[in-house]
Homo-oligomer: A and B are copies of this chain.
Amino acid sequence: MTNKDARTPASVQDAQSEEAGKSIGWHKAYVEGTRPDLRVPVRQVHLTNGQAVTLYDTSGPYTDPLVDTDVRRGLPPLRENWIISRGDTEEYAGRPVRPEDDGIKHTSPRGGLRNLDAVFPGRPRQPRRSRDGEAVTQLAYARRGEITPEMEYVAIRENVAPEVVRDEIAAGRAVLPANVNHPEIEPMIIGKRFLVKVNANIGNSAVTSSIEEEVEKMTWATRWGADTVMDLSTGRNIHTTREWVLRNSPVPIGTVPLYQALEKVDGRAEDLTWEVYKDTVIEQAEQGVDYMTVHAGVRLAYVPLTANRKTGIVSRGGSIMAAWCLAHHRESFLYENFEELCEILAAYDVTYSLGDGLRPGSIADANDEAQFAELRTLGELNRIAKRFNVQTMIEGPGHVPMHKIKENIDLQQEICDEAPFYTLGPLTTDVAPAYDHITSGIGAAMIAWWGTAMLCYVTPKEHLGLPNRDDVKTGVITYKIAAHAADVAKGHPGAQEWDDALSDARFEFRWEDQFNLALDPDTAREFHDETLPAEPAKTAHFCSMCGPKFCSMKISQDIRREHGGTRTEIEEGMAQKSKEFAASGNRVYLPIAD
């Protein structure tokens, strides 16, 4: 998105000299709000024609050369003063961190108590939660009519009035995930009135990956445009990995607490209890997780509805809860304790992401009874959450053929009172493993156009393995394309200006501007240089695709040069020549009527 207001020079603070920025084509700048500690980062692209284009920036302080980042220290706590000055939260001792939080058993020879200082060397900080009786969520503030610094921040980012932000949050149509224990984030908003957002999943699995890799994947994903990151780690070091990710993340972090809870009971779903789960939620809330996927809609009665499915239950959380329900032949403990869970989340301003545990795992299972039964329950839970002032979004599928996509968003919006929809794709066909970023990018673009607020990315490794660095980038870029295509189709203010700026550069053969405006400047430049690496080719009026003689844009430019640039000029030129031609008596000119 281009941000018109942000172009006003007075409001833009340069992170580095504009001269330095021009040499690499762009630089990081900040738009200041109504207070000096409210500075919204933007990516300022400098064009060779002297103009500048301002783009939304998710990359955090890592791309600001004036900020000295250190992963062992964590990012500066941007929101700390805002949170403290509200005076409605307090620090407290917090739950002690235990070895089993990291998957280490008491009996393990490698076990033994460790504390957080040891596993994350950075800033020791006590957790914070609401004072008794205080409602500390952005939803509560919005309902009271308050515009928080967080709301002003996202208003600047989205190029809308702060009142729009407050109204959308108050109505439950948007969420601003911002745990009081995650002061490092640069606030962002998720709702259909705003830019479509993209989530990237990271997380080690039992099979592979390390803490450092996950932190690096997070910064890498945000570098390419991820608006939030979900840490889906399982296995060992799950607490420590999350701590590192949180302390270094400029974007909200989401988790699925059920995964860690399951680790605490050695992977036996039937051994899960509300107590273990609750303890895990508090553990993660104290660390600063901004939103949590909760599969409270997988009710006992719905499990048999999946029996005739082609691919059963494909959500990890959904299958764990289904196994628990059947093993105990009783209602889900998440459903039964949902109100207490709301109280916990409200105390930290953790946002619900109500999980679709029964989402379809194949084209054949799309839009079936099980899926929609759960959706109706999510609508019910959404209303309960709102009673507790808990911000809530709703997760959606999955695998859905194109002709069945619209029903998903329409039903969700109706049943869930327009709460933000957060979908995984959907994949529009099952036949292309290794290309599911594309099978799902198609569905993602469509469902976002129709109103989905955030898209969970899918990488080329989906169904096959754990994504590496390249896969993460490919997934993010593919989903940024889907999101932006939707922003354009929705007519989001300013969205098409970005396309227009790039198209202008293309028509005028400003190759460097095309690269710098591209979603992925590196790859665009690399592809161009593969066949025409020489520096003069960067200003050439053609590329290797068609060569100089066949370049339609060049011919098109020549036409304008010869016959005038505007329609009137071309028409007048044509009429004049027509007269000359007719006067010559050589051949009658036939004006073409349309």
A residues at B contact (CB < 8 Å): 205-208, 234-235, 259, 262, 267, 269, 299-308, 310-316, 318-320, 322-323, 326, 329-331, 361-364, 373, 376, 401-403, 428-435, 438-439, 441-442, 445-446, 449, 460-466, 468, 477-478, 480-482, 484-486, 488-491, 496, 498-500, 502-504, 506-507, 514-515, 517-520, 523-524, 526-528, 530-532, 543-553, 555-560, 562-567, 569-571, 574, 577-578, 581, 587, 589-594
Contact = CB atoms under 8 A, between A and B. Distances in A.
Contact of A364 (B438, B439, B464, B503): B503
Contact of A574 (B300, B441, B478, B480): B300
A303 B363 contact: no
A488 B362 CA distance: 12
Contact of A402 (B314, B445, B558): B445
Of A462, A545, A558, most buried by chain B (CB within 10 Å of CB) is A545
Closest CB pairs A-B (n = 9): A312-B556, A206-B547, A362-B503, A301-B592, A402-B489, A319-B555, A307-B567, A319-B552, A428-B485
Given A322-B555, A433-B524, A556-B313, A307 B565 contact: yes
Nearest to A205: B547
Contact of A308 (B307, B363, B449, B566): B566
A207 B532 contact: yes
Given A308-B567, A364-B496, A499-B429, A435 B477 contact: yes
Contacts of A524: 433-434, 464
Contacts of A565: 307
Contacts of A589: 329-330
29 contacts: A205-B545, A207-B544, A234-B549, A235-B547, A311-B506, A311-B507, A311-B556, A312-B557, A313-B552, A318-B552, A329-B577, A329-B589, A330-B581, A376-B594, A402-B445, A429-B484, A429-B485, A431-B502, A432-B477, A432-B480, A432-B481, A433-B502, A433-B514, A435-B481, A439-B481, A441-B442, A442-B446, A465-B528, A465-B530
A543 B234 contact: no
A482 B439 CA distance: 8
Given A363-B503, A462-B545, A486-B402, A329 B550 contact: no
A472 to B, nearest CB: 13
